[in-house]
Structure 1
Amino acid sequence: MDFAPTQEQAAARDLAARIFGDLATHERLRAAGTGSDGELWKTLCEAGLPGAVQDIGLLGLVLLLEEQGRTTAQVPFAASCVYGLLALSAHGSAGQRERLLPGLADGSVVVTGALPAAAVREGSRGELTGVVPAVPWLRDATHVLVADEARRLWLVRTVDAGCEPVELTAPWSAGRLTLTATPAERLGGGDGSGTGRASDGTVRDGATAAYDDVLATARTAFAGLQAGVCAGSVARAVAHTNTREQFGRPLATKQGVQLRAADAHLDTEAIRVTAYEAAWRRDEGLAYATHALTAAWWASEAGQRVVHAGQHLHGGTGADLEHPVHRHFLWGRQLDAYLGCGSELLQELGESIVRGSVRAEEDA
């Protein structure tokens, strides 16, 4: 496997780093409050970064999300690329792709996702009913990709649904989604019949395969976002401990501080490399479900350790809710919750490995 970015991926990453670095400043983040930064989102879209994901793949998207995470930039970049652009490119019908992909590329269409599968039911005419308590970036979205209780994927226009603002740990412009016989269209069109290759490499019915692929893609992408959040937290902690002195010496010269920072760095690298591997495997058409779960487990379990360490290494300064490092703490804990707690992910990973072993024995 080769995680070295292509020229196109590296160019997109460098451009994203410049835009996020220039516009996702402490002052602008404070001004945005719990909402999104519309000007930053417009700049990213005018630069062609959402549209570029079709060409640079999931690994390229992970590189871009790392740069977003470093600055905790408040835009629906991850959600719209995962639940919109990549989901439609892989599983949408020709009509859905023609209608929505251009808007997803220029930012006029924003898709978020109500995944994993929720208590949403399909009616007799294809309408949906149910409630999803919190959907990230729902307040920014024009469409929601909804997974019903049977793990089928539906596209819902937000103007047709009930959307009530809610506040999460991180400022993700979230909302409560209420569906009451709400019109919806199945992702891919038709009745979901047929077969498709799922993220674990097996051939399943088309609807299940699409759900598994989108969920694994989301886990990989948000793990990449967590890698950036953690890298930004560690970088702030290193800068602080190198300049903050105690008894005439920088805090960074103390062994306890060095060990804590080193552990946080290693945890961050573990999140990054597992996200890279899962993304690379998807781009290469290989099975990647267990790799996506591994990346999600590292992002959840190690991510919370890193952002706690970053805040603690700032000492009393880290307790200041207005300090930039506190945003990394909030984002890290939100991603931990969004990806699922470590024990749940570990159980799912173990069950997936067992199922794979059983299938291998049956095939033999």
Structure 2
Amino acid sequence: MDFRPTEEQAAAAGLAARIFGDLATHDRLAAAGTGSDAELWKALTTAGLTAAVEDVGLLGLVLLLEEQGRTTAQVPYAATCVYGILPVAGHGSPEQRARLLPVLGTGEAVATGAFPARGRITASPDGRLTGTAPVVPWLREATHVLVPDADRALWFVRTDAPGVRTEPVETTAPWSAGRLSLTGAPAERLGAGDAHDQVLAAARTAFAGLQAGVCAGSLARAVEYTSTREQFGRPLSTNQAVMLRAADAHMDTEAIRVTAYEAAWRIDEGLPAREHALTAAWWASEAGKRVVHTGQHLHGGMGADLDHPVHRHFLWGRQLDAYLGCGSELLAELGALISAEEPDTPDTPEAPDPADLADAPDAPHVSGTPEGDDA
């Protein structure tokens, strides 16, 4: 494994860090409310950071999403990349790639995904979808939705198509989420075979990378606060309990990061990665909520202020925990996957009974213990 970014990936991550750092300020985030920041989204697409995902791969996208997570930037970047650009580039027909990738890259089109669908949507033989997806992130901003049907086939649906209805849904984090209702909605098929599993693994990995950034940002704010805030004449950061909480949060953040890197690297290399994506998702879900709780807790009374910047990290961390799935669900899926792939262990032949050997024709002499022979 080699997690070192390429020159192109490092350059893209550096540019993303500057754009997010300059534009995803606390005042702008507060002004955006539950919607996206149109100016920030334009800056990202104009800089080519959306279209570049096709070239920098999933590991490059994870690096970019870390930078978004550090600032909790209010743009549909992760959704457009993992449910739009990467699936179309990897599974679309030549015509679909030529038609969809340019508009997704420029931000003219915004994609999201109705994952996990849990079999709620069915497709007719002529490609019309019926069913509902209760919560779809960034649906209010989206022009296209990637929808898996009950047979795990993937379909692209336009939000302005007949038979498509969207309703706003408020979630923990301000992600412009909505409820998607389909009634015989026309759709186009995207990919075949194991495309569903590949898209799901990539999405889990990407959102785990986003969580790594959210946690890193939360921890950085906590470190800054406890280093300057004094109690009894010394900084809070000198208290052993504070140091231990921060150290645990740092280790959790690194675990999220490294498992996301490993899953992304394997997917980019074309290696089996379903278990690794589930592992990254589990760390992002379980450890992520621990880190954002720690970040808020270490701010003391300030952490209870809903307008404090650290509270956004808390909301995003909890939302990502819910979106990726609770830890027990992910572990159950991972366990089922591992057990299904393990080959059957051949039965070990049972050792023969010495008495049976002694009674057998032409059987060799079977002695007792040395002590018995001496007796």
Shorter-chain-normalised TM-score: which range?
over 0.9
- Does structure 1 retain, via aligned residues, the 8 Å contact 2:117–2:133? no
Amino acid at match of 2:148: A
Q: Match for residue 61 of structure 1?
A: 61
**Matching residue within 281, 284, 295 for 2:280:** 295
2:172 aligns to what?
Answer: 169
- Which residue of structure 2 lines up, in the alignment, with residue 278 of structure 1? 263
Paired amino acid for 1:291: H
Matched, 1:340 2:343: no
Q: Distance in 2 between matches of 1:95 and 1:7?
A: 31
Name which of 211, 218, 224 aligns with 1:226.
Answer: 211
Q: Structure 2: which 5+ runs fail to align?
A: 347-375
Equivalents in 2 of 1:125, 1:220: separation in Å?
A: 33
TM-score of the aligned structures, taking structure 2 as reference length: 0.90
Give the Cα separation in 1 of the matches to 2:150 and 2:323.
18
How far the C-alpha of 1:360 sits from its partner, in A, is 9.9
Does the aligned pair in 1 maintain the 2:170–2:178 contact within 8 Å? Answer: yes
Q: State the shift of 1:220 in Å.
A: 0.2
Amino acid at match of 2:254: E
Structure 2 matches for 1:114-153, cutoff 5 A?
Answer: 114-118=114-118, 119-153=120-154
**What is the distance in 2 between the residues matched to 1:287 and 1:302?**
24
| Distance (Å, rounded) in 1 between the aligned partners of 2:110 and 2:3 | 29
CA contact (8 A) 2:127 2:187 kept: yes
Alignment of 1:91-240 (within 5 A): 91-118=91-118, 119-160=120-161, 161-188=164-191, 192=192, 206=193, 209-240=194-225
**Alignment partners' CA distance in 2, 1:83 and 1:358:** 34
Q: TM-score, normalised by structure 1?
A: 0.93
**Which sits farther off after the overlay, 118-127 or 209-218?**
118-127
Residues 116-170 of structure 1 deviation map (CA, whole Å, 9 limit, x = unaligned): 2340011242100101111000011110000111111100000021011111100
C-alpha distance in 2, partners of 1:143/1:34?
A: 19
Q: Any unmatched runs of 5+ in structure 1?
A: 193-205
Cα deviation code 1:240-263 (max 9, x no counterpart)? 000001011100000000000000
C-alpha distance in 2 between matches for 1:344 and 1:180: 30
State the SS of the aligned residue for 2:82.
helix
One-letter identity of the residue aligned with 1:106: T
The aligned counterpart of 2:235 is 250
Q: CA deviation at 1:301?
A: 0.4
Question: Quick one: percent identity of the two aligned structures?
Answer: 73
Return the alpha-carbon distance in structure 2 between the equivalents of residues 360 and 332 of structure 1: 41
Provide the C-alpha distance between the structure 2 equivalents of 1:244 and 1:358, rounded to a whole number of angstroms.
Answer: 57
Question: Which of the two has higher C-alpha Rg?
Answer: 2
Shift of 1:239: 0.3
Counterpart CA distance in 1 for 2:232 and 2:254 is: 32
User: Post-superposition shift, 1:325?
Assistant: 0.2
Q: Does 1:49 find its partner at 2:70?
A: no
Does 2:12 match 1:27?
Answer: no
**Cα deviation code 1:197-244 (max 9, x no counterpart):** xxxxxxxxx1xx000000000000000000000000000000000000
Alpha carbons 2:20, 2:71 under 8 Å: kept:
yes
SS in structure 2 at match of 1:117: coil
Q: Indicate the SS of the match to 2:342.
A: helix
Q: State the distance in 1 between where 2:56 and 2:94 align.
A: 21
**Distance (whole Å) between structure 2 residues aligned to residue 167 and residue 116 of structure 1:** 18
Q: Supply the distance in 1 between the matched residues of 2:335 and 2:152 (Cα, whole angstroms).
A: 21
Q: 1:318 aligns with which of 279, 303, 320?
A: 303
Native 8 Å contact 1:117 1:150 kept in 2: no
1:309 and 2:294 aligned: yes
Shift of 1:359: 7.9
Q: Cα gap change, 1:249/1:176 in structure 2, threshold over 3 Å: closer, same or farther? A: same
Letter in 2 for 1:186: R
Instruction: State the distance in 2 between where 1:298 and 1:149 align.
Output: 28
C-alpha spacing 1:149/1:360, structure 2 compared with 1 (3 Å): farther
**What is the CA–CA distance in structure 1 between the aligned matches of 2:213 and 2:8, rounded to whole Å?**
20
Distance 1:129 1:285 in 2: 33
Q: Distance in 2 between matches of 1:68 and 1:292?
A: 20
Quick one: distance in 2 between partners of 1:104 and 1:126? Answer: 23
CA contact (8 A) 2:57 2:268 kept: yes
Counterpart residue identity of residue 8, structure 1:
E
The amino acid of 1:56's aligned partner reads V
Rounded to whole Å, the distance in 2 between the matches of 1:107 and 1:249 is 49
Aligned 8 A contact 1:134 1:174 in 2: yes
Aligned to 2:14: 14
Q: Distance in 1 between matches of 2:56 and 2:62?
A: 10
Which structure 1 residue ranges, 4+ long, deviate > 3 Å from structure 2? none
Q: Distance in 1 between matches of 2:344 and 2:318?
A: 36
Query: What value does the CA root-mean-square deviation take over the aligned residues?
Result: 1.1
Q: 3-state SS of the aligned residue for 2:29?
A: helix
User: What's the counterpart of residue 200 of structure 1?
Assistant: none
Q: Is the 8 A contact 1:162 1:178 kept in 2?
A: yes
